[in-house]
Amino acid sequence: MIRTVSTPGAPAPAGHYSQATVHNGIVYVAGQLAIDPATGAKRLGEIEEQTEQALRNVAAILEAAGSSVQHVLKVTVYISDGCNCVFYKGNSNPTREKQGFRPFGDRKIDH
């Protein structure tokens, strides 16, 4: 059985997809941008600020799904500037994949 996840603690999806789906106990989180869910404002400052907001969004979705960042298995990061920053702070030390992308506007990161 597949269950969809929705929380006001993360930005509403901009398209026809869920914030996350859960199947067989595994949570699949959709990509998150640096958007403050309370205001809808885009965080377009430095990459660290964008990263922190995107990860707060991921954490809120995981919690709404009944999980947490401590259970993350893999993180894929799409980044525009080649920064080798720390993108995940948790105890599970998940695998990480970093992909370059051509940014849209001032966006520097997408988780």
Residue pair 92/72 in contact by the 8 Å Cβ criterion: yes
Six-digit token string for 105: 């506007």
The single residue listed with the structure tokens 């520097």 is 108
Specify the pLDDT at position 74.
85
pLDDT score for 21? 97
Write down the pLDDT at residue 108: 59
Closest among 30, 28, 111 to 72, alpha carbons compared: 28
Q: Please state which CATH number belongs to domain 2-110.
A: 3.30.1330.40
CA–CA separation, 61 vs 81, rounded Å? Answer: 26
Q: Where are the domains of the chain?
A: 2-110
Q: What is the pLDDT of residue 47?
A: 80
Q: Report pLDDT for 75.
A: 83
Averages of pLDDT over runs of 10 residues in the chain (111 residues) are 96 93 96 94 86 92 95 81 59 62 58 53
